[in-house]
Amino acid sequence: MNSLLYIGQNALMNSQYAISVYGNNTANAEVEGYRRRSVEYSESPSITTSVGQIGTGATISGIVRHLNEYIEAQYLQEAGQASLWQSRYDTLAQVETSFVEDEDYGTSALMDAFWEAWGTLSDYPDQDAARSTLLSTSETLTSRLNSLASSLTEQQLSLESQISQEVADTNEILAELANMNEALADAGESSSLLDQRDQLLRELATKVDTKVYYKDNGQVLVMTSEGQTMVDGGNAYTFELRAAGASASLTADSTFAGSIYYEGTSSEELTIEVVDGGQASGLASSATFRVSLDGGRTWLTNDDGSEKLYTAGPEDDSVTIGGITVWFGQTGDSGAAETTSLSAGDRFTILPKTTVAWNSTAGGLVNVTPLSDVDNAGRLTGGTLAGLLIARDECIGEYQETLDAFASSLIWEVNRIHSQGAGLTPLSTATGIYAAEHSDVPLSESGLAFADRVTSGSFSLALFDETTGASLGSVAVDFSSVTPGQATFDPTVHSLEDVAQAITDSSSGQLTATVENGRLKITAADGVTFDYSDDSAGIFAATGHNCFLSGTDADDIAVNQTVIDNPDRICAGHVNGDGESNSGDNTTALALEALSSKEVSFYTIGDTTSATLGEYFASLVSQVGADRAAAETNYEYETALAESLYDQQESASGVNLDEELTNLSRAQEGYNAASKLIQISLEMLDTIIDLA
């Protein structure tokens, strides 16, 4: 009788407990992150009697919290990818609005108007109205390019702010997970804490790519997909923003005691590796190095496909790589040449931008900023943080570089033609708009904005009588006085100072050229004026003489203030072979109109492209649209996968009210049956007592 009462009592308590569990499931059915619980029973030990074993009922062996860890791991991965593509799509959708090509006011339309204005000037080279229209059209075009550059910069600044916030939010989640691990270790089995932990893991997966290893004690080891530990026990290994800078990784036997220095900003990450050891003196015997933009997987090449090598040198012999000027110097003194030698294999990393670094388990910071869409070994590969970084560097950074390459080639090609033309009135003095950083070194190393486009060749200037306007002949600039035996200009030999000296020496006192604050200045003698003539080297355009446009990229491109102040200096004609500049001549205006269909070169870091100006800009617009469309497609695809996995997890671990109602009904029936068993046992006991 006691056994029957014991069985009934346990069954009653089991059913009561089950009702509480299933009732709690029902109450939390709409709570995000709640995982369904179920009751597990086990048979109580049997009693052996003379007729065999008799059962003693059942006990509750545990409460099972339902979570399919395999599905959850897949969900975390896809949720991270969905967040990555969402952040990219949101950014690119905003960027695309800046590149909308209205048929009347879009950049391409303004470019067409620019060429048409030169065509109109060629028809009416002496009319003020044609010059006024050209100036107005040109200023509208350059302002549009300024606006595009400004818009991209603003987008990047906005992304910088978002990246900073994402890093802070990610670190907060990591700290909470570490605290949760400690709480789970102290509390043991706690379904409520486990629910909170898994919800935090889902939040983390939307920030960075997340891989989770579950431990028996309820704790988790959390890592990135590339193996960086983020949480282990009660320790959180956080991320932080790191300012632009450079670092070195020298070989074991390297004796180099100096540092690498740089100037400029870029969305690229430069890996520099010494190929041939030696000093960083800038001489022929100096060390040489190669450059990679993808962490050392591939290296920049020359046009013929051979690996591009640079000569290591001090600040005066620096090299420019995609807008980043690089040199070597003494540690703590960038201007002092380092005397210790570089060794083959010495590596340096230049990060000319804000990056995200991981506080490693071994101590120290490790750069985890994504390099590209593929092959991101050791870098972040998922989550909003990676998406924002890729949008900033790989998308907007590339657009900026392409837009600047377009503006730079537009400036150069227009100025290259215009600088050899003649205005309506000659000049008595002129100063170039571009300054060299070093006027006493070969022009190719001078830091002059367009020095890399200058070639060997010759140039000349035409002289006129200031009073009558009559031609006084042309001055073919001869460099023999500077470098005996070499009459033509060579950018690898002659400096800006040499150019000034050669102009002065070649003009028999009628012209004096000097260098002031890095700018070439030409002054005519009393009673003499001058204009510009043929220039096969590109000296006039490179130094900023007789230019129509100023600036070097999309951010600062503008119409040269000289022609704005004096429209007569817009060059429609040219100086002919007799040294004359004739009224009505339209040679230069025609050449500039024809530039619209001419194939020219565009230079970005590690790449040279040939196309017309219109085609190149159109390719940029197409690229923005294609990237936005690809981001949208990938976002929708990854979101669909994540939602499917979410639904699968909910099916396995979420609360189904119909199922819970069935479980509650079963538990209630069990409770009633247990009550009936106890009642029958008591009635039997009363009967036995009455018989006694």
What is the pLDDT at residue 373? 57
Residue type, 305: G
- SS3 label, residue 307: strand
Q: What distance in Å separates the CA atoms of residue 101 and residue 106, rounded to the nearest whole number?
A: 4
Q: Which two tokens stand for residue 53?
A: 């074993």
Tell me which residue of 502, 513, 508 sits closest to 477, measured CA to CA.
502
- SS3 label, residue 431: strand
What is the pLDDT at residue 374? 59
Residue type, 50: S
246 pLDDT higher than 60? yes
What is the pLDDT at residue 593? 97
Q: What distance in Å separates the CA atoms of residue 573 and residue 585, rounded to the nearest whole number?
A: 5
What is the pLDDT at residue 65? 84
- SS3 label, residue 243: coil
Q: What is the pLDDT of residues 497-515, one digit of tens each?
A: 999 999 999 999 999 999 9
Q: What distance in Å separates the CA atoms of residue 410 and residue 601, rounded to the nearest whole number?
A: 10
DSSP H helical segments within 373-495, as ranges?
Answer: 383-390, 397-418
- Residue 240 DSSP code: E
Q: Which two tokens stand for residue 54?
A: 């008799």
Cβ neighbors of 527 (< 8 A, separation 6 or more) are 465, 466, 467
Q: Which two tokens stand for residue 102?
A: 């209205």
Task: With cut-offs at 50, 70 and 90, classify the pLDDT of residue 102.
Answer: confident
Q: What is the pLDDT of residues 653-673, one digit of tens each?
A: 888 888 888 888 888 888 888
Q: What is the pLDDT of residues 587-602, one digit of tens each?
A: 999 999 999 999 999 9
What is the pLDDT at residue 111? 96
Q: What distance in Å separates the CA atoms of residue 99 and residue 95, rounded to the nearest whole number?
A: 7
Q: What is the pLDDT of residues 389-432, one digit of tens each?
A: 999 999 999 999 999 999 999 999 999 999 999 999 999 999 99
Q: What is the pLDDT of residues 374-388, one digit of tens each?
A: 567 889 999 999 999
Tell me which residue of 472, 476, 585 sits closest to 524, measured CA to CA.
472
Tokens 């959708």: give the residue.
93
Higher-pLDDT residue of 70 and 682 is 70
Residue type, 537: A
Tokens 């190719």: give the residue.
444
692 pLDDT higher than 70? no
Q: What is the pLDDT of residues 518-574, one digit of tens each?
A: 999 999 999 999 999 999 999 999 999 999 999 999 999 999 999 999 999 999 999
What is the pLDDT at residue 56? 76
Q: What distance in Å separates the CA atoms of residue 251 and residue 267, rounded to the nearest whole number?
A: 27
Instruction: Write b or e for each residue in 552-567: b if 16 or more Cβ atoms lie within 10 A of its Cβ, otherwise e.
Output: bbbbebbbbebbeeee
- SS3 label, residue 242: strand
Q: Kindly report the length of the chain.
A: 692
Q: What distance in Å separates the CA atoms of residue 581 and residue 533, rounded to the nearest whole number?
A: 10
Cβ neighbors of 392 (< 8 A, separation 6 or more) are 156, 159, 160, 163, 267
Q: Distances from the Cα of 57 to the Cαs of 8, 13, 19, 690, in angstroms?
A: 8, 12, 18, 28
Q: What distance in Å separates the CA atoms of residue 383 and residue 390, rounded to the nearest whole number?
A: 11
Task: With cut-offs at 50, 70 and 90, classify the pLDDT of residue 1.
Answer: low
Q: What distance in Å separates the CA atoms of residue 343 and residue 331, rounded to the nearest whole number?
A: 17
Residue type, 292: S
Residue type, 221: L
Q: What is the pLDDT of residues 272-330, one digit of tens each?
A: 999 999 999 888 889 999 999 988 989 999 888 899 999 999 998 888 898 899 999 99
Q: Tell me the average pLDDT of the chain.
A: 92
Q: What distance in Å separates the CA atoms of residue 550 and residue 419, rounded to the nearest whole number?
A: 12
Cβ neighbors of 166 (< 8 A, separation 6 or more) are 207, 384, 385, 388
What is the pLDDT at residue 189? 67
Q: What is the pLDDT of residues 201-225, one digit of tens each?
A: 999 999 999 999 998 888 999 999 9
Q: Distances from the Cα of 579 to the Cαs of 59, 126, 461, 471, 582, in angstroms?
A: 112, 19, 9, 6, 10
H/E segment holding residue 691: helix 657-691
Rounded to an integer, the average pLDDT of 173-185 is: 94
Tokens 């499931």: give the residue.
25
Q: What distance in Å separates the CA atoms of residue 29 and residue 83, rounded to the nearest whole number?
A: 26
Rounded to an integer, the average pLDDT of 66-79 is: 93
Q: What distance in Å separates the CA atoms of residue 420 and residue 461, rounded to the nearest whole number?
A: 9
Q: What distance in Å separates the CA atoms of residue 209 and residue 378, rounded to the nearest whole number?
A: 12
Rounded to an integer, the average pLDDT of 444-462 is: 93
Task: With cut-offs at 50, 70 and 90, classify the pLDDT of residue 261.
Answer: very high
Rounded to an integer, the average pLDDT of 116-141 is: 96
Question: Exposed/middle/buried for 588, CB within 10 Å: 0-12, 13-18, 19+?
Answer: buried
What is the pLDDT at residue 62? 81
Q: Distances from the Cα of 678 to the Cαs of 1, 10, 342, 663, 672, in angstroms?
A: 10, 10, 91, 22, 10
Q: Report the chain's C-alpha Rg in angstroms.
A: 38
